[in-house]
Amino acid sequence: MTLALDLAGIALAAAGVAFLLLAALGVWRLPDTLCRLHALTKADTAGLALVAAGTTCLLPSAGGALSLVLCVVLVAISGATIGHLIGRAHQE
């Protein structure tokens, strides 16, 4: 049981890291601001959520999951808002 949980955790975290790497690649290689934002905002939030889910599986107790959830929610909200603000500033 613990082994399955550990494996799931590692797989989820690895998937999250892959998303983050893709986001970094997008910011580096895509041609203009809006394309980069497109790559960054979504892949970043998804990557962090997956890493947090993986970490939750690896935690010794369930108590720490609450702060991870808070972390993911805050990053999702601020990521969306900042993406919106950068997009607006770019249009003006």
Partner 1 sequence: MSTAFDILVALGGLACAGIALVAGNRIGSVAAFVIMGFFVALAWVRLGAPDVALAEAAIGAGLTGALLLRSANRLGPVREAGVPIAVHGIAACLSLALAGGIVWAFATGTAEAVYPSLVAARVGESGVSNPVTAVLLNFRAWDTLLEVAVLVVALLLVSGLAPVRIAPAPPSELVLPFLRIVVPVAVLLAGHLLWKGATAPGGAFQAAALLTGGGLALALCGLLGAGRRTGHVLVLAGLGGLALFLAAALGAAILTGGLLDYPAGSAKVWIIAIESALTLSIAAMLVSLFLGPSEGVRDDR
- Residues lying near partner 1 in the complex (CB under 8 A): 70, 74, 77-78, 80-81, 84-85, 88
* C-alpha to C-alpha distance for 59 and 88, rounded to whole angstroms: 40
> Is 6 or 81 the residue whose CB approaches partner 1 more closely?
81
Q: Rounded to the nearest whole angstrom, what is the least distance from the CB of residue 4 to partner 1 in the complex?
A: 22
> Is 11 or 84 the residue whose CB approaches partner 1 more closely?
84
Q: Rounded to the nearest whole angstrom, what is the least distance from the CB of residue 31 to partner 1 in the complex?
A: 18
Which candidate, 83, 65, 91, 67, places its Cα nearest to that of 5? 65
> Is 8 or 86 the residue whose CB approaches partner 1 more closely?
86
Q: Rounded to the nearest whole angstrom, what is the least distance from the CB of residue 65 to partner 1 in the complex?
A: 17
38: which residues sit within 8 A by CB, 6+ positions away? 26, 30
